[in-house]
């Protein structure tokens, strides 16, 4: 049993190396007594401060989601791997009797994520054990995950950000590491991508969880499995029960232990833990070419689905029109000549681009096959220019009940406008007339099952003549 065996706990003289061994549950105390009875007298039941910090931070879940660039209606899926060869990020392809495990699982998963999951409906993040970062080096990790990061994957800091990401997640794809167990203890749906049961103590709570939790099927649709594990989720009682037997009490118990060991009186003020900090904002900037499927559903409503992969997953046969949208800073520079929509993000007064009006005009002059350029000026608005027309501002209409303006990604607004102008109409209406109608009536953008109302209007004040 990792950490509880005599070599970990006893000196060369056979005496305990620690004066106190902090455990979070009586089940661990009993396992210690069986594994190393000499160290059993040092056991102190003091809970789990890490888990207590997460429990205390639960009310801030929406803030953590917004910090990760998760928009209303999006699902955040967290990929989590511990550090050994049989982990999700490990190098073993299969464990006999245990099914699919390790190998290039993460690489295969990320390729399928790009192909199967529309970027406006799902956000993905990865939490890798610190030993992975230490063993391979940050440069190698970022290089391995480069394509996925350019496709929108958030790579979470393994020391300071993983708890907040776990609280923000709608589902976790993990292995036998502690982060996966914490996710289950929080009640988050978990799908196991690596299940090395032979490497675990069969009597440990983690083994029971591994036997009961749903497993990832490599031959089935990943998107369907995520939807199923979220839709049918019923939290298993074991992880929450065995993570700590005294939730919320670790600060009090640990401080009492520490001061008693020092032989000093405790302070009169209440014991407390440092709250989890709010991470910095990390926008989901996608620079790989996007395959965009659009359908005009009504007089001013357009459905938009965008993929960062090969557009071969579920939804590819739903009908509609396909176009390509590309970030100006894409590494796949040849795709700019094939793009129908070119976009970028930046401050509206960034002197390097002159202005959004100037930038959009410059892009359309440089890329003759592009129909529309969009400069994202904020999380809910952008400046667009249709070829041959003056620049316009597109902005989310605040929700009438919540006043929330954090709608869809503004680059999706640009694709919706492109589709609206390019769509066939039973009426003999020119593209310019359709653009004027969009300015008058606005547009309704549908991503998945969510509607976003978008206002289309002239720039105020007007941009410089270009």
Residues 399-432: pLDDT tens digits? 766 566 677 999 999 999 999 999 865 455 678 8
In the chain, the percentage of residues whose pLDDT exceeds 90 is 78
Residue 443, φ and ψ in degrees, nearest 5: -130, 155
pLDDT at 332: 96
Q: What is the largest CA-CA distance in the chain?
A: 93
Residue 2 clears pLDDT 90, i.e. is over it: no
Confidence band of 312 (pLDDT split at 50, 70, 90) = low
Q: Report yes or no: 297 and 330 within 8 Å, Cβ to Cβ.
A: no
Buried b (16+ CB within 10 A) or exposed e, 155-168: bbebeebbbbbbbb
Q: What is the pLDDT of residue 96?
A: 37
Q: What's residue 10's pLDDT?
A: 97
Does the pLDDT at position 461 exceed 70? Answer: no
* Angle, vertex CA 274, rays to CA 271 and CA 280, nearest 5: 165
| Three-state SS letters, 280-316 | CCCCCCCCCCEEEEEEECCCCEEEEEEECCCCCCCCC
In the β-sheet with 171-174, what is the strand arrangement from edge to edge? 154-155, 122-128, 75-81, 171-174, 190-192
pLDDT at 100 over 60: no
Task: Return the minimum-mean-pLDDT range out of 41-45, 187-191, 398-402.
Answer: 398-402
pLDDT tens, position by position, 318-377: 678 999 999 999 999 999 999 999 999 999 999 999 999 999 999 999 999 999 999 999
Sequence-distant (≥ 6) Cβ neighbours of residue 281 within 8 angstroms: 66, 67, 69
Task: State the Cα–Cα distance between residues 394 and 416, nearest whole angstrom.
Answer: 11
305: which residues sit within 8 A by CB, 6+ positions away? 118, 120, 121, 292, 293, 294, 315, 318, 447, 448
Confidence of residue 464 (pLDDT cuts 50, 70, 90): low
**Of 328, 408, 447, residue with least CA distance to 69:** 408
DSSP 207-220: HHHHHHS-B--TTS
What is the average pLDDT across 132-144?
A: 92
* Among 107-111, 255-259, 295-299, the least confident range: 107-111
Q: Are 321 and 295 in contact (CB under 8 A)?
A: yes
Share of the chain above pLDDT 70, in %: 91
Residue 110 has what pLDDT? 86
Name the helix (H) or strand (E) containing 155. Answer: strand 154-155
Question: For residue 261, what are the β-bridge partners?
Answer: none
Phi-psi region of 47 (alpha: psi -120 to 50; beta: other; left: phi over 0): left
Q: How far apart are CA 211 and CA 380, in angstroms?
A: 44
Mean pLDDT of the chain: 90
Model pTM score: 0.91
- Read off the tokens for 135: 């063993």
- The answer to whether 176 touches 87, Cβ cutoff 8 Å, is yes
- pLDDT tens by residue, 194-243: 888 888 888 899 999 999 999 999 889 999 999 999 999 999 999 999 99
Q: What is the pLDDT, as a whole number, of residue 3?
A: 81
């Amino acid at each position: 049993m990792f950490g509880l065996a005599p070599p970990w706990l006893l000196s060369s003289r056979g005496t305990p190396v620690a004066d106190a061994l902090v455990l979070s549950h009586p089940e661990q105390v009993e396992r210690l007594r069986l594994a190393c009875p000499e160290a059993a007298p040092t056991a102190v039941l003091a809970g789990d401060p890490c888990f207590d910090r997460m429990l205390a931070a639960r009310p801030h879940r929406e803030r953590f989601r917004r910090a990760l660039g998760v928009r209303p209606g999006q699902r955040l899926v967290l990929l989590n791997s511990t550090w050994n060869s049989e982990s999700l990020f490990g190098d073993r392809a299969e464990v006999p009797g245990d099914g699919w495990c390790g190998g290039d699982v993460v690489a295969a998963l990320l390729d399928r994520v790009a192909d199967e999951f529309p970027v406006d409906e799902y956000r993905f993040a990865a939490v890798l054990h610190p030993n992975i970062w230490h063993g391979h080096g940050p440069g190698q990790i970022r290089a391995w995950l480069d394509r996925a990061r350019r496709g929108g994957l958030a790579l979470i800091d393994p020391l300071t950000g993983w708890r907040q990401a776990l609280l923000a997640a709608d589902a976790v794809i993990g292995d036998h590491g502690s982060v996966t167990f914490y996710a289950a203890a929080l009640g988050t749906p978990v799908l196991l991508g690596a299940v090395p049961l032979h490497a675990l103590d069969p009597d440990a709570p983690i083994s029971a969880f591994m036997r009961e939790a749903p497993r990832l099927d490599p031959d089935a649709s990943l998107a369907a499995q995520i939807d199923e594990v979220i839709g049918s989720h019923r939290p298993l009682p074991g992880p929450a029960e065995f993570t700590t037997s005294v939730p919320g009490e670790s600060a009090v118990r640990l401080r009492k232990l520490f001061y008693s060991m020092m032989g000093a009186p405790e302070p009169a003020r209440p014991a407390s833990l440092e709250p989890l900090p709010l991470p910095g904002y990390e926008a989901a900037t996608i620079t790989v070419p996007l395959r965009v499927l659009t359908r005009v559903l009504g007089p001013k409503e357009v459905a938009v689905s965008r993929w960062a992969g090969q557009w071969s997953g579920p939804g590819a046969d739903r009908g509609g029109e396909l176009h390509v949208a590309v970030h100006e800073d894409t590494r796949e520079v040849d795709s700019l000549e094939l793009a129908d929509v070119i976009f970028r993000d930046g401050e509206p007064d960034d002197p390097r681009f002159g202005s959004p009006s100037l930038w959009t005009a410059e892009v359309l002059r440089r890329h003759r096959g592009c129909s529309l350029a969009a400069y994202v000026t904020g999380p809910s608005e952008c400046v667009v220019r249709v070829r041959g027309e003056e620049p316009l501002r597109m902005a989310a209409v605040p929700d009438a009940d919540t006043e929330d303006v954090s709608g869809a990604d503004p680059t999706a607004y640009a694709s919706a406008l492109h589709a609206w102008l390019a769509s066939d109409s039973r009426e003999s209406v020119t593209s310019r007339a359709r653009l004027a109608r969009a300015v008058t009536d606005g547009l309704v953008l549908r991503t998945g099952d969510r509607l976003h109302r978008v206002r289309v209007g002239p720039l105020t004040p007007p941009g410089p003549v270009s």
